[in-house]
Amino acid sequence: MSTSVKMVEAPPSYDGAGFSATSFDKVIGMARANSLWPLPFATSCCGIEFMATMGSHYDFARFGSERPSFSPRQADLLMVMGTIAKKMAPIVKQVYLQMAEPRWVIAMGACASSGGIFDTYSVLQGIDRIIPVDVYIPGCPPRPEQVIDGLMQIQELARNESLRRRNTDEYSLLLNSYGIE
C-alpha cells in the first residue's frame, strides 16, 4: 500500500469522540470540488491538447474528473475547447441550458475566450457572449499544465461557493443578462 496517495483534507470542524461538526457549505463544497464531471466540448485544436491532458501522461482523472460526461445532464463542468463558430453558438448555449445546477464553465484557449486570432465574420468572439464563464484559460492552445491549473481554479470556486449562491437574485440577474431565464 503506497503512502504517497494524498487524501483530501477534511474541512475545519469541531471534533469530538464519535462526531465531527461543520457546516454543510464546507462539506458539500469539498465533495463537489473533488468530483467534478467535465463535459468536454471540444471543437478543434484545443481538443487535441485536452486529449493529451486526459491521457496517461498528464492524467486529468487525478482531480476527481475520472469520468468525462458526454451527456450534459450528468455534467458539472462545461469545458469549451476550441473555436466556436457562429453556427455552433446556439448549440453551446443549448448544452449549457441542459446542464443541471450547479454548473461551471471553462473557456479553454484563446478562441473560446475571445475569438483569438480568428477575428472573422464566422467566428463567435468569445463564448462569454452567450454563456457566463467562470475560468478562462489563455493560450493557443494552452499546455496541459495550464488546463490542469484551470481545473484547479474551478475546484477552488466550487469549494468556496455558498450553497445558496445559485438561488440568489444576483445569480438570476447574471443569467438574465445572457437571456437565460
Partner 1 sequence: MYALTLSLFHSFTLWKMVTEDLSIDAVGARNTPATPEGPVQYVNELTTLNLGPTHPATHGIFQNILQMDGEKIVSGEQTIGYIHRAFEKISERRPFYQIKTLTDRMNYCSSPINNFGWDMTVEKLLGVEVPKRAQYIRVIMMELARISDHLICNGILGVDAGAFTGFLYLFQQREEIYEIYEEMCGARLTTNMGRVGGMERDLSPEALRKIRKFIKTFPVVMREFEALFNRNRIFMDRVVDVGAISAERALNYGFTGPNLRAAGVDYDVRVMNPYSSYEDFEFDIPVGQSGDTYDRFMVRNEEIWQSLRIVEQALENLPEGPYYADAPEYYLPPKQEVYKNMEALIYHFKIVMGEIDAPVGEVYHAVEGGNGELGFYLISDGGRAPYRLHFRRPCFIYYQAFPEMCKGTTLSDAIVIMSSLNVIAGELDA
Partner 2 sequence: MLTNEAVAQDIIQQFGSDVSEFDDPFGLLTLTVSREKLIPLLQYLKDHKTFQISFLTDLTGVHFPDSPGREFCVVYHAHSLINNYRIRLKVFLAENDIHIPTATILYESANWMERETFDFFGILFDGHPKLQRILNMEEMDYFPMRKQYPLEDGTREDKIDALFGR
Of the candidates 154, 119, 117, the residue with the CA atom closest to the CA atom of residue 137: 154
- CA distance readout (Å), 24 to 16, 66, 104: 18, 24, 20
Residue corresponding to grid cell 503506497? 2
Residue from 119, 169, 170, 181 in contact with partner 2 (CB under 8 A) = 119
**In 13-47, which positions are buried (b, 16+ CB within 10 angstroms) versus exposed (e)?**
eeeeeeeeeeeebbebbbebbeebebbbbbbebbb
Residue (118 or 171) nearer to partner 1, CB: 118
Burial of 135 (0-12, 13-18, 19+ CB in 10 A): buried
Find the part of the chain contacting partner 1 (CB under 8 A) among 12-20, 22-30, 87-95, 162-170: 87-95
Residue 51, contacted partner among partner 2, partner 1, none, CB below 5-8 A by kind: partner 1
Torsion of CA 176, 178, 179, 181, to 10 degrees: -40
> By CB under 8 A, is residue 9 in contact with partner 2?
no
Residue 49, contacted partner among partner 2, partner 1, none, CB below 5-8 A by kind: partner 1
Residue 125, contacted partner among partner 2, partner 1, none, CB below 5-8 A by kind: partner 2
Tell me how many degrees the CA angle 33-36-5 measures, rounded to the nearest 5.
65
Q: Which of residues 38-97 bind partner 2 (CB under 8 A)?
A: 86-87
Nearest distance in Å: CB 83, partner 2: 12
> By CB under 8 A, is residue 93 in contact with partner 1?
no
Residue from 27, 28, 85, 130 in contact with partner 1 (CB under 8 A) = 85
Find the part of the chain contacting partner 1 (CB under 8 A) among 17-25, 28-36, 45-53, 147-155: 45-53
Residue from 23, 120, 162, 172 in contact with partner 1 (CB under 8 A) = 120
> By CB under 8 A, is residue 27 in contact with partner 1?
no
Q: How far apart are CA 52 and CA 98, in angstroms?
A: 27
| Interacting residue ranges for partner 2, rule: CB under 8 A | 86-87, 115, 119-123, 125
